[in-house]
Structure 1
Amino acid sequence: MLTFILKRLGSSVLVLFGASILLFFLVVHSGDPLWDLRESQATNRDQLIASRVSNMNLDEPWYVRYGLWLKGLAGYLVGQGSLGTNVTGQQVGDLLSNAASSTLRLVVLATVLAIVIGVAIGIITAIRQYSGLDYAVTFLIFLFFSLPVFWAAVLLKEYIAIGFNNWIAQPTMNWPLTILLAVLIGLALQAAMAGSPARRAFTFLATVAVIVLGGYLMFALDLWRNPRMGPLVQLLIGLAVAVGATALVAGLRNRSVLKAALATAAVGMVAYYATYTPLYSSPSALLIAGLGVIAVLVALVAGRLLGGFSKGAATSASLATAVVMGVSILTEHMMNFWPALMRVKPRPISTIGSETPNLRGDFWVQFLDKGTQLLLPTILLTIISVATYSRYTRSSMLEVSRQDYIRTARAKGLGERQVILKHAFRNSLIPITTIMAFDFAGLIGGAVITERVFGWKGMGELFATGLHAVDPAPVMAFFLVTGTAAVLMNLLADIMYAVLDPRIRV
């Protein structure tokens, strides 16, 4: 495996080198980098032109300019690298660090959500092949996939941002809309849960009742502007996730797995009280990251110690419980500071930028602001990617389910949950892993339009600005990140093949 990785890295470096030469050549010859100065009426136009020619080395052939850029890039090996300057004289390295942080924050979250939602939808539609749910989901998936990005972005701005900001100033209960939403969700959920007509009817009625009652309580308790949870809600969430994860990965009859998940939920409740004061009074990104690592370690220990003969399943259920409870605890702290954000920013959902300029507030207010700015572009990129993951998962699951070993597993008397998750799903992940690798790198490049529409100062803006100014330095910086991401993600996919299927050895 090590030899294979080294060979892949070597070939990938050669591919990136060739692609960088081609891209540099195309950008340099795509237009005139002095066009704006030539049309200028400034009295010192000649001096400005001479300054830009000297700054961008325009008096040198393109291959000499490429060599200078490559020399600056190679300087990073000894700690003295440089990606050059743009047309205004700014260091591209500084611009790249800010742009990459904004774009990766957007792309990573969208990719994770798309994988989780898309794979879940693909599994459900594969199990319910040719049912009404399958046809409905297929129609919606293709509808979302075919939406023009710029048009969908405008709709999100209008209804989720502007409409919500207008409504939250004076929230009112819209009974017809609430009932309609409850009925639609109830119909979708009963179709997904399937079962006998009585079970379907119960699922539908229970869903409608919970949504209508929940909507009423949200208004009666003013939870839209003053949201809160409390320890009882946290406990219910922990128990629900522990039981649900156990039922999914091992079945509720496996007491060892259930014990490990419930123990993790109990530790989560202890952590809820133990971390409340530091997260409230002195929060920081480092503190949150450290608590996240501790939560994962606790889940691993609980799964290994209490899992018995099902240590793998117990570890998975414990990890799911720890992650969900950790996110739930962070959500409660964000809820506590939502009124503070509303005081300094009465219209919380913004449509432009990755953060509000000159916003005053402590850590959680800033955190919430960046989260609300992230909402719309994340929804857009997730909707686009969900279509790909769901369709590939569905087709891969259907192909695997027709294999002989799946029929053998059913003939041996294994439960449907074990057949689907332990045998079919794991083998169907192999082609999906390839899609994940391409999709992550593709989202970084494809975020150009999304960032332009939402006014994000990210990789897309860096690329578009550089290309418009016929400036190769920002474009090459964009290529450096996206190309490296593509190479690393494809290498990671090759390694994951051997993890998912031990029969695959490179």
Structure 2
Amino acid sequence: MATFVIRRLVASFFVFLAATYLMYILTALSGDPLEDLRASTAPNAAQLIERRIDLLNLDVPPYLRYFIWLGGVGGCFIGQCNLGFNVQGQPVLEILGQALGQTLQLVTFAAIVAVVIGVIIGITTALRQYSTYDYSVTFVTFLFFSLPIFWVAVLLKQYIAIGFNDFLRQPTIPPLAIVVIALALGLIAAGIAGGDLKRRLIAGGTAAVVTGAALAYMSATEWFLTPSLGIVVVALTAIGLAFAVTAISAGLRNRRALYASLTVAVLAIVLYYPLQFLFVSMTLPLFLGLAIGTILLSGAIGYFWGGHDRWQSARTAAIVGFLTAGVIALDEFMSYWNAYSNSSRVRGRPIATIGAETPNLGGNFWVQGVDSFTHLLLPTIALILISIASYTRYTRSSMLEVLNQDYIRTARAKGLTERTVLVRHAFRNAMIPVATIIAFDIGAIVGGAVITERVFAWTGMGALFQNGLERTDPNPVMAFFLVTGTLAIIFNLIADLVYAALDPRIRIS
């Protein structure tokens, strides 16, 4: 495997050199970086032109100027990275850091959510092939996939931002809306449940009643003004997660894994109130430390419970601990919603339409977190709606192909449970094509969503690339290409290694 990795990296290095050379030459020859100064009527225009020529080495031909840029990039290996300056005289390395941070903040969560939801929907539609649920999901996903991103962004601004902000003035839900939403979710639950008519009616009816009751409660108590989960909802969610995660990861017959998950859930419930004192002085390093500590402690509890497969119990308990901790953190963020919404900078309209943060907001860790959420909400939804269709369809087709293989029929004939057949045999092999798609998408994701960034006024990697092209500014364009190209090489290599991890029949050599 080491030989394979080294060979791939060496080949990718030379391909990357050729690609960056062509990109630099094409960008440099696409226009005149001095055009704005030549048209200027400023008395010192000649001096400004001379200064820019010296700053950007414009007196050197582009095919030689590339090697000056390449030498600055080579300095990154010895801690002296120099990506040059843009036409405005700003260091490109500094601009790149800001743009990359904005883009990672924007697209990372959207990519993770799109992959998770897309894979889950793809698997459920494959298991309910040719059902009403399958046809409905197919129609909806392709509908959003075909919509222009700028139009989706405008709709989100109108109905989620402006509409929801207006709704908060009097947050009561009309009875007709409650009935329609409850029935819609009931139909979705019935489609997912499958089986005979009785089973679908029970699932759909239960989902509709629970949804209707929850919406009626939220409307009567004006929950949207001061949202919270509370200890009761957190406790029920923690116990539900313990059973659900165990059922998928280890199976409910694995009692030790179930007991480990329930132990983690009960521990989280017991610590709910003591943690409130710690949350008052929360910081980002402390938050990350608690997250890592939760995973390690939960895994240790699972390993302690043991069973015939200690690591399976540890994995299951760690997932339950992580998800339960997320629910508790969500409850704490929600408790600061009212303080954020009524602050002098927000003024009762919390859902933002532009930018990455509210200027001069202030506040503690939780208020800043709510502010980040409100600014991320619309562009994240836009990216998810556009990208989720491809993950759904690839997962569905791959899962259907795997389910028709001989080894799946053999596993069922041996008497293995359906969970074991789907999770241990079908799912891993079905993920191989999806892993390829995800690896190819990483470079494009970090490259920035140019249109989305423009609509929502995010100055990320997409804006860096677009502004560089418009101003005939090679250095920012090459910084963009350097990051996205490097990530494309790395993640394609990771995809090859993931193949071997997902399917032992694949050998990398």
- Contact 1:145–1:384, Cα closer than 8 Å, also in 2: yes
- What is the deviation of 1:275? 2.9
In the TM superposition, residue 251 of structure 1 has moved relative to its aligned partner by 2.7
- 2:424 pairs with 1:427: no
Q: Distance in 2 between matches of 1:45 and 1:455?
A: 31
Shift of 1:269: 2.6
Aligned counterparts of 2:80 and 2:444: Cα–Cα separation in 1: 30
- 1:254-403 matches, cutoff 5 A: 254-280=254-280, 282-344=281-343, 345=346, 346-403=348-405
2:145–2:385 CA contact under 8 A, matched in 1: yes
Q: Secondary structure at the match of 2:374?
A: helix
Aligned counterpart, 1:222: 222
Alignment-derived partner of residue 472 in structure 2: 470
Q: Which amino acid aligns with 1:503?
A: R
Q: Which stretch shifts more, 260-269 or 291-300?
A: 260-269
Amino-acid identity (%):
49
Does residue 79 (structure 1) correspond to residue 79 (structure 2)? The answer is yes
Distance in 2 of aligned mates of 1:271 and 1:67: 59
Cα distance in 2, alignment partners of residues 8 and 225 from structure 1: 55
Separation in 2 of the partners of 1:84 and 1:224?
49
Shift, 1:193, TM fit: 0.7
Q: Distance in 2 between matches of 1:218 and 1:116?
A: 28
User: What displacement does 1:162 show?
Assistant: 1.2
Distance in 1, Cα, partners of 2:68 & 2:186: 62
* Deviation (angstroms), 1:63: 2.3
Q: Tell me if structure 1 keeps the 8 A contact 2:172–2:222.
A: no
The amino acid that maps onto 1:310 is D
Q: Give the aligned residue type for 1:390.
A: T
For the residue of structure 1 that corresponds to 2:13, the secondary structure is helix
Find the counterpart in structure 2 of residue 7 from structure 1: 7
Name the residue aligned to 2:199. 199
Q: TM-score, normalised by structure 1?
A: 0.97
Deviation at 1:45, TM superposition (A): 2.1
User: How far 1:271 moved relative to its partner?
Assistant: 4.1
In structure 2, C-alpha distance between the alignment counterparts of 1:128 and 1:228, rounded to whole Å: 35
What are the Cα deviations for residues 234-271 of structure 1, in whole angstroms up to 9, with x where unaligned?
21111000011112233322211101111221232344
Measured in 1, the distance between the counterparts of 2:375 and 2:470 equals 26
Aligned pair partner of 2:446 in 444, 447, 469? 444
Specify the code of the residue in structure 1 equivalent to 2:300.
V
Using the size of structure 2 for normalisation, the TM-score is 0.96
- CA drift at 1:342: 0.8
Comparing 108-117 with 172-181, which one deviates more in the overlay?
172-181
Contact 1:168 1:224 in 2 (8 A): yes
Letter in 1 for 2:120: A
Q: Aligned with 1:275: secondary structure?
A: helix
Q: Which moved more, 1:119-128 or 1:264-273?
A: 264-273
Secondary structure, in 3 states, of the residue corresponding to 2:449?
A: helix
Q: Deviations over 1:124-168 (max 9, x none)?
A: 111111111111111111111111111111111111111111111
Q: In structure 2, what residue type is equivalent to 1:454?
A: F
Per-residue deviation at 1:446?
5.1
Q: Which moved more, 1:60-69 or 1:235-244?
A: 60-69
List gaps (5 residues or longer) in structure 2. Answer: none
How far apart are 1:196 and its partner, in Å?
Answer: 2.3
1:370-418 alpha-carbon deviations (Å, 9 max, x no partner): 1111111111111222111111111111111111111111111222222
Q: Which amino acid aligns with 2:225?
A: R
Alpha-carbon shift at residue 285 of structure 1 (Å): 0.9
Give 1:480 shift: 1.4
What is the number of residues matched between the two proteins? 505
Residue 461 in structure 1 maps to residue 463 in structure 2 = yes
Match in the other structure for 2:51 = 51
Q: 372-381 or 34-43, which moves further after superposition? A: 34-43
Counterparts of 2:179 and 2:41, CA distance in 1: 63
